[in-house]
Structure 1
C-alpha cells in the first residue's frame, strides 16, 4: 500500500516535464491571427501613406506638365498635397512668360490653393465643397498683334453648331425652376491677390490689388452670392471698387447686383479708349465715385437705382 502511495506522489510532483494545456492546433491558430494582425497594420500604414506617396511622385509632376502644355511656358510647383481628410493643397505655383514676352517676372504666381470635399456629406448624398486661394498674382500682357502671354496662339478652330439656336425651341435649355442645387454647398474665397493688365504700346492699363472675393451657396437653395472688393489704380493714390451679386441659379426670383466705386481716376483709361476708338475720344478724365444697385428679374427687366 505504501508503495502505491509513493508512486502516486511521484507521478503528481516528480515529473520534470512542463505541463501545458495548449494543443498544436491552438498554437497554429494563434500564429495565423498574429500574421493577419501584422498584415492589417501594414495595409493601414500603406493606405495612410498613399496620399503622401502619390502627392510627392505623381501629382506634382502631373500639375507641372498640364500647366506647361496649357501655357506653353516653364512651370514650377513647390508642392502638391492630397490627404484623406485635409483635401487638396497646391503651393508655390509659378508660370513663366512664354518666349517673346518679358522674362523679368512670371505671368502667374500662386501662393497657395486649398480645396476640400466633405466625405461625410458625400456619403449622405450631398456635395460640400470648400476652396481658398491666397497670394494669386496674374500679369496679363497683350502685344500689338493681339497675342497674349496667358493665351497661347492656336491654329485650330472649333466649329460652332448654331442649328439649335435657330429653331427657337426649348429642348436645349432648362425650363425655369427645373434646376435644383439644394444638395450642394459651396464656399470659395480669394484673398491677398492681384491682377495687372499691360497692353503694348500703351503700358499698364489696369492694376487691381488686394483682391478679396467670395462665392457662397448654402444647402437647400439655388442661391449664389458673389462678393468682390479691391483697390484699383496707382499705388500712391488707389481707388476702390466693391461689387455684389445675389442670384438664384434657377431664375425663380429677381437677381440683385450692386457696384460701388470710390476715387477712381478716369484719366488712367484715356489711352485705352483712344486706342480702341481712334479720333473719337479727345479727352477722358475725372474722378468717379458712387454706388449703383440693380434688380434683374427673370424676364430680363432691369431696375437701376
Structure 2
C-alpha cells in the first residue's frame, strides 16, 4: 500500500452516525439536546458554587473544576459531530484532527480506558473526603485554598504535558491512503493505527500513560475510600455514620458511572470486532457521563439543591 508523509495528508474521515436521512434529524436533535443539557447543567453547578458562600469549600471547588472539564470535553467533540451530521460530510482536516486529539487528551488519557483529567479530579476529591471524615479537626489546615489550587494546577500541567507529548509523537508518523477513523471523533489510538510508519514508541507511550495516569488515580481513590470506610465503621453513632456515608454518595456515584462505562468500553472492544459498537460505547463515557454528573450532584446533595434554589430565585428576580 502506498504511503504518504504526514505533511501530504489533507484530512481524515470520521464514522457516519447513520445513512438514513430520516434518522439524521433525530440524531442531530439528540446530540444537540445532550450538549445543551451538559453545558447548562454543569454551568449551573459552577454558578451555584460561585454564588453560594456555604459552598466555598474544597469539595465544591473540585466539583466546579470537574464541571468545567465536562463542558470542555463535550465542546471538543459534540459540535464537530453536529456539523458532520447536518452536512453529511465526515471529513476533518489533518490540523483539525490533531488539534482535537490534543484537546481531548487534556481531558482524557486513554480514550478507551481512563479519563486523565477527571481521574485526577476524582482522586483529589476522594482525598478531600478522606481528610474531612478521618481528620475533621485538621481539615481546614490540610485542605487549605493554596493546596487545592496546587492540586488543580498539577492535574492541568500533567494533562497538558501528556496531550502535547502524544500530539508531537503523532506528528512524526507517515500515513497510508486509508484514512478512515472508526469513531465519531479523532482519537489518538485510532489515528496511530492508520500510520504506515513504525508506531512502537507511540504504542509504548500510550500504554505507559494509561497505566500510570489511569492506574495511580484509581489506586488513590480506592485507598482513600478504604480509609474512609474504616474510619466510619469506628464511629459510635449510627447517625454520624449515615451522614458520613451520604457525604461521599455523590462522589461515589460519579466514580461508579465513569469507571463502569470506561470498563464497558474496554470489555466491548475485547469481545466484539464491530467498530460501530465500540464507537457507541466510547460515547457513553465521553458524552453521557459529563451530562449525568450535574444530575447526580444536584439530586443527591442537599447543599447543592439549596444553592440551586437560591440561584434560580436570584435569576427570577432579574
Q: TM-score range by the shorter chain?
A: under 0.3
Richer in strand (by share)? 1
Choose 1 or 2 for highest CA Rg: 1
TM-score where L is the length of structure 2: 0.23
Richer in helix (by share)? 2
